[in-house]
Amino acid sequence: MDLRIEHRSYPSLFRTGEAEERGISQHHLRYDPRFSAVTAGIHRDEVRRVEHPTPSWAEETWMEESLRLRAVTMVVPRIAAGGASAARLFGLPLPHRLVDDHLHLVTFDSGRKVARKGMSVRRHSREEAGYWLELPMHSPVGVFLDLSAELTRDELVVLGDSIVGGWHGPPLCSLEFLRTKIAQRKYLRQRVRVGAALSLIREDVDSPQETDLRLWAMSRGLPEPVVHPRVYCRLINRTVEPDLGYPHARLALEYDGEHHLLSKMQWASDIARDEALRHEGWEVLRVTSQMSRALLERKIRYHLERRAGGGGR
Q: What is the DSSP string of 216-240?
A: HHHHTTPPPPEES--EEETTTTEEE
Asked if residue 258 lies in contact with residue 292, where contact means CB atoms within 8 angstroms, the answer is no
Residue 250 scores a pLDDT above 70: yes
Residue 302 scores a pLDDT above 60: yes
Higher pLDDT, 32 or 77: 32
Whole-angstrom Cα distance, residue 70 to residue 54? 13
Provide the residue count of the chain. Answer: 313
Within 8 A by CB and 6+ apart from 265, the residues are none
Asked if residue 166 lies in contact with residue 227, where contact means CB atoms within 8 angstroms, the answer is no
Q: Provide the 8-state DSSP code for 291.
A: S
Place 277 in a pLDDT band, splitting at 50, 70 and 90.
Answer: very high
Predicted TM-score of the model (pTM): 0.90
Place 279 in a pLDDT band, splitting at 50, 70 and 90.
Answer: very high
Q: How many domains does the chain have?
A: 3
Q: Are residues 10 and 128 in the same domain?
A: yes
Whole-angstrom Cα distance, residue 307 to residue 313? 9
Residue 275's CATH number: 3.40.960
Q: State which residues form the domain around 43.
A: 1-137
Asked if residue 283 lies in contact with residue 295, where contact means CB atoms within 8 angstroms, the answer is no
Q: Are residues 101 and 145 in the same domain?
A: no
Q: Are residues 266 and 146 in the same domain?
A: no
Nearest alpha carbon to residue 161 among 135, 197, 120:
197
Asked if residue 9 lies in contact with residue 48, where contact means CB atoms within 8 angstroms, the answer is no
Nearest alpha carbon to residue 80 among 14, 35, 129, 43:
129
279-304 mean pLDDT: 95
Q: Are residues 1 and 123 in the same domain?
A: yes
Q: Residue 313 falls within a domain, yes or no?
A: no
For 276, the 3-state DSSP assignment is: helix
Q: What does the pLDDT look like over 188-227, one tens digit per residue?
A: 889 999 999 999 999 999 999 999 999 999 999 999 999 9
Residue 312 scores a pLDDT above 60: no
71-90 mean pLDDT: 94
Q: What does the pLDDT look like over 107-125, one tens digit per residue?
A: 988 777 777 888 999 988 7
